[in-house]
Chain A
Amino acid sequence: MAVNVKSKVPTTKEDFKSDQVVKWCAGCGDFAILSAIQSALVESGVRKEDAVFVSGIGCSSRFPYYMNTYGFHGLHGRGAAIASGIKVANPKLDVWHITGDGDSMAIGGNHFIHLVRRNIDMNVIIFNNKIYGLTKGQYSPTTPRGSITKTSPDGTIENPFKPGELTMGSQGTFFARVVDTEPKRMKEVFLEASRHRGTSVVEVLQNCVIFNNRIHSAITGKDVRDDHQIHLEHGKPMIFGKQKDKGLVLRNSRLEVVTIGENGITEKDLLVHDVHNPDDTTHYMLVRMTLPEYPVATGVIRSCEQFATYEAELEAQIANARHKSSMKSLQDLIEKNAFTVGE
C-alpha cells in the first residue's frame, strides 16, 4: 500500500488509539496485533484521516472501533466487498481489511478469493485462531481435521483451508504469515504489507485464550519456535533451528529439510528466498509446509508487483474515456440521435 500524504507533525502510536474501551478477553492475541498495527501505521507515515479500517463479523472484527481512524464494521463475511467499494471509490485512502478465519474463509470465502484476484490495493489481516470465537467454540474452515469442538463432538471430518493456498490459487501478489507472540516481527510484516501495491494478505496465527488456547503453541512456544518455524527473509538462505543448522533444499520437485554439515550439505546448497519471483511455485510450497515434517514458514512469503492494481487500471480507463470523448455532460449524450418535433 503506497502512502499518499506524509503528515507534517510526526504521528505517535497514541494518535491511532480510539477512546473506546477494548473489549477482548484478557490474554487474547488480538491486543498484540492491534498494538503492532498501530506501530506500523506510525512508521508508514499515513495520516490517520486517510486510513480506513473495515471488518466483517467476529472477535477480530471489533477492531475498527479501537482505531482512531475512519472505520466500517460490516456484515459477516462482507468486509472484503465493502473495503473494495471504499478503495475503488477513493483510491487515495489507506484501506485495511480486518478479518478472521471464519469471516474470510467460510462465509466470506467467495469475496476473499475475488478480492485477491482483482488485486485491489489494501491490506487484509486474517486473525487465524482456527476456531469460531464470537459464537463460542464451533469449528472453522481452518480447524485441523479431527478436532473436537462444540459442533464436532466426534472430531471434524473436513480438510482445513490454508489462507496462503487460497491466496496463491487466486494469483495473490502478497502473502505473509506471522505469529501473535512476536510483536516486532508483526509490525515489520504489517509495514511490508502496507508498502506493497496490491492486495496484501497477512495471516496472523492468533491465539484464542478461551476456545482454542495454545492452538499454535507447537509453532509459537518459546522452547520449540526456533525449530518449528522458519522465518523467511528476502535474499537470505532458508535456515532455521536453535543451532541455525537446519535448512530447506529443493529435491525431486519438493522441499526437503536438511541439516547443514550432514551428508556434505553446506549453506550454499540451501534455497535462497526470493519474495519477488513472479513464478509462485516455491511460494506455494512454502505456505503449505506443516509440522511435523516441516517447519511452518513465517515472514513475507510472496511480494510481487507483477500486476497493476484494479483501481489504477479503472482510473486509467476513466481518464482515457474522458480524454477521448467529445461529450462534456450527459446532456450531450441524451441528445445524440434525438429528433425535434413541432418546431
Chain B
Amino acid sequence: MTKKPNRVIEVDAVVVKFAGDSGDGMQLSGSQFSDTTAFAGNDLATFPDYPSEIRAPQGTIAGVSGFQLHIGHKEIDTPGDLADVLVALNPAALKANMKWVKPGATIIIDIDNFDNKSYKKAGFIEDPIGDGTLDGYNVVKAPITQLSKTTVKDLGIDPKSAERTKNQFALGILYWLFNKDLKYGNEFIDKKFGGKKPLLAEANKRVLLAGYNYAETVEALRTTYQINPIKNRSGKFRNITGNTATAWGLVAAAERAGLDLFLGSYPITPASEILQELSGMKQFGVKTFQAEDEIAGINSAIGASFAGDFAVTSTSGPGLALKGEAIGLAVITELPLVIVNVQRGGPATGLPTKPEQADLMQALYGRNGESPCVVIAASTPANCFRYAYMAGKIALEHMTPVILLTDGYLANGSELWNIPDISKMPSIEPPLVKDNSDYEPYRRNPETLARYWALPGQAGLRHRVGGLEKEDITGVVSHNPANHEKMVYLREEKVQRVANVIPDLKVSGKDHGELLVVGWGGTYGALISAVKDLQEKGKDVSLAQFNYIKPLPKNTAEVFSRFKKIIVCEINMGQFANYLRMCHPEFRYEQYNKIQGLPFMIAELKEKFNQMLEEN
C-alpha cells in the first residue's frame, strides 16, 4: 500500500461513472466514493441514473443502474458531461454507457461477467472485448467477481453475500487510481454495516483493500491521478441531495417560525424521499400524514394550516395536476402552504425517473379561475435547503401558497453543502393574531396585503373560511360583482408585492454586453459551467439564472436591457421564454430547448452560445 506508483498526474477535475446491474450496489459505491472525496477536500457533484423498474432483468440494458460523480480541485457545478473513468460490472453496463465516456477514457470491466451469453444479452453482436469496440480506450480487464470471492472465502459468508462485495473491489481500484485514503472507505463500510453485521463489514473492507492492491500491480494503472483539495474554502461541509436539502429546509423554516411542520403527501417518484426523510424527523415535532391520494395530501395540509401548523405537501408533476383545485382553495382562503413539485418528464406518467422543467406553466396557471401563487425554483441540490426555507418564509409571512419547483436531477443529485447557521437565516414572522375581538378574517396588512392568521382554540377570533368568494375585510360569503373583482386583484397584488422582499436578479459575469444566457431552476450547473468556460476564453457572455419566477425580481427588465441578445435555455419547449414574453414583451428572446429526459450537456450549450456570438 505504501509503494509509490510510477507516475502521479495532478488534474483539476475528473468524472467517474459506476455502472452495473440494479442490485449490484452502484448507488452505494457512488455514495462511498463521494464521501471519501468530500473528506479529502474536493468539490463534487453527483447524479444517480437508475431505471424506474426496481429490479429489471439481470444483465439487460433496462436493468443498468449508474452513478456519476464529478470531483474537482476547482468549483464543480454539474455531475459532468462525459466520464474519464467508467466502471462497468457487466456487458450491459458497458453497452449503456459507451456513449457517455470521453475518448481515451479508462474503462474498468469485470471480465468474469463477459461471457458469450452475457454480451449477447446486453445486445452486443460480437464480444466487445475482441471486436475492436474498446480500441482507443485504456481498458482494465479485472477478474473482479472471482478475486472478490477468493478474498472472503475463509470468512464463511454465504456465496451471494460474498459475490456482492465485488463493488468494493472496483472501488479499491479507484481509491488507488485517484490516490484516496482507504481509511474513509473503511469508515463508510463500518457505518453502513455497523456493529450489527461485523462479518459483512470485515468482508467488504478486505475486498476494498484487495482491489487497491490489485490495481497497484496492473500495468494499465501505472499512472494515477491526484485531485488536490479545493482552495479558498472554509467552513463546515457535507454532501447532500436535493430531496434531503428540501426536507431539512422545511424543518428549518418551521423551527424559525416557531411552528410544527405538517406534511400531507402521497409517495411519487422522484419526490418520495422528502416524505421519507420527514417521517423520520419526529424528534423535531414533524408530523407526516401519508394520505390516501395526492388530493388528500394537499387538503390535509390546508386543514393543518388552518389549525396553525406550517403546512407542506410534496409531489411530482402528475400529483401537482391532482392538487390544482386545492391550491385554488389555499389561494382563496389565503392560508400559508408550500407545495413542493419535484418535476419529472411528462405528460401523464411520462418519464418518472428523468428530469424535465415542463411543469412551469402548470405551476403558474394550472388552476381554475384567477389563482395566483408565488412560484420559486431551486437551482442546485444544496440550495434546495435555502429555497425550501424561503418558500416557507414567504408562505407564512404573506399568507399565500408557494410552489417550490425542483426536479429529478436536483432531487437525486448531490453536491457539497456549506452548512449554514440556521439561527442566522432571515427570521420568519407569521402574522398570527392574539385574542382580539375586533378580528376580521380578511383585513390585511397594508404593506404586504397579507391577511391575519387566527388559529382555532382562541376566544374572540371565531371565523369561517372556505372556497366560496368572500367579502373583503369581513370574510362573509359574497357574490357581489364588484367585490369579486376587487378580491381577484387583491390576491394578485399580494403575490406581486412579494417582489419587495426577494433579492434582485444577479448576473454572473459582465452586467452588460453581447449575449445574456437566461435559465431558471435546475439547469444552473450546466449553464454556469458553459458560460464560465466561454468567459475564460474571452467571450462576451453572461448568465442570469432565475430562482424567483412569480413574481419576477424587480430588476429583471433592467438586466435584460443591458444585453444585445437574450437566449432562454430550458428543459421544455420554451415555457419560461413564453412567460418572459408575456411579462416583458419589449425584449426578443431566443430559445435553446432540450426535452430528452436528460440535463443539458456543457458542450452543446457552448456550441449554441458560440454560434449566437458569431452571428452578425
Contact = CB atoms under 8 A, between A and B. Distances in A.
Interface of A: 18, 20, 47-50, 52, 54, 57, 64-65, 67-75, 78, 80-90, 92-93, 110-111, 114, 314, 317-318, 320-322, 324-325, 327, 329-331, 333-335, 337-343
Given A88-B287, A110-B293, A320-B282, 13 more contacts: A57-B467, A71-B463, A72-B464, A73-B465, A73-B468, A75-B326, A85-B304, A86-B456, A90-B455, A318-B285, A324-B283, A329-B284, A341-B237
Contacts of B299: 74-75, 78, 81-82, 85, 111
Interface string B452-496: 000111111111111110000000110000000000000000000
B331 to A, nearest CB: 12
Contact of A86 (B251, B292, B303, B333): B303
Contacts of B281: 333
A320 B303 CA distance: 25
Interface in B337-389: none
Contacts of A114: 291-292, 296
A70 B300 contact: no
Contacts, number: 196
Interface in B49-100: none
A73 B234 contact: no
A216 to B, nearest CB: 29
Interface string B307-341: 11101000000000000011001000100000000
B236 A90 contact: no
Contacts of B421: 331
Given A68-B462, A71-B465, A318-B285, A89 B325 contact: no
B38 interface: yes
A342 B467 contact: no
Contact of A85 (B232, B236, B302, B468): B302
Rank and list the top 5 A-B pairs by shortest CB-CB distance, nearest first.
A85-B303, A73-B466, A342-B234, A71-B464, A325-B283
A331 B420 CA distance: 9
Contacts of B300: 81-82, 84-85, 88
A86 B306 contact: yes
A321 B282 contact: yes
Contacts of B39: 339
A28 B239 CA distance: 63
B392 to A, nearest CB: 13
A84 B289 CA distance: 9
A322 B283 contact: yes
Contacts of A20: 476
Contacts of B236: 335, 338-341
B235 interface: yes
Contact of B419 (A78, A318, A338, A342): A338
Interface string B249-270: 0011001000010101000000
Contacts of B309: 89-90
Given A68-B462, A93-B456, A341 B41 contact: yes
B464 A73 contact: yes
B588 interface: no
Given A85-B262, A333-B248, A322 B285 contact: yes
A341 B233 contact: yes
Contact of A64 (B301, B325, B326, B466): B466
B308 A331 contact: no
A85 B311 contact: yes
B229 interface: yes
5 contacts: A69-B462, A71-B465, A81-B303, A82-B302, A314-B287
A336 B457 CA distance: 38
A330 B238 contact: no
B295 interface: yes
Nearest to B255: A330
B295 A81 contact: yes
Given A49-B456, A110-B292, A330-B422, A70 B301 contact: no
A69 B454 CA distance: 13
Contacts of A330: 248, 251-252, 255, 284, 422
Given A334-B248, A342-B235, A73 B264 contact: no
Contacts of A84: 289, 296, 300, 303
B6 interface: no
Interface of B: 38-39, 41, 229-230, 232-238, 248, 251-252, 255, 260, 262, 264, 281-285, 287, 289, 291-293, 295-296, 299-309, 311, 325-326, 329, 333, 419, 421-423, 455-468, 476-477
Contact of A49 (B311, B459, B464): B459
A78 B287 contact: no
Given A52-B456, A84-B289, A341-B41, A78 B466 contact: no
Nearest to B283: A325
B479 to A, nearest CB: 12
Nearest to A318: B282
A343 B234 contact: yes
A52 B463 CA distance: 10
Given A69-B462, A75-B467, A334 B238 contact: yes
A167 to B, nearest CB: 16
A342 B232 CA distance: 8
Contacts of B296: 78, 80-81, 84, 110-111, 114
Most buried by B among A78, A80, A93: A78
A216 B74 CA distance: 78
A75 B457 contact: no
A101 to B, nearest CB: 20
A47 B459 contact: yes
A317 B329 contact: no
Contacts of A318: 282, 285, 287
Contacts of A329: 255, 284, 422
Given A314-B287, A317-B282, A330-B284, A86 B459 contact: no
A334 B422 CA distance: 10
B308 A89 contact: yes
Contacts of A338: 236-238, 419
A72 B235 contact: no
B289 A75 contact: no
A90 B309 CA distance: 8
A69 B460 CA distance: 10
Nearest to A48: B462
B353 to A, nearest CB: 27
Contacts of B325: 75
Given A49-B461, A50-B456, A78 B38 contact: no
A49 B282 CA distance: 28
Nearest to A66: B464
B510 to A, nearest CB: 29
A334 B464 contact: no
Contacts of B234: 340-343
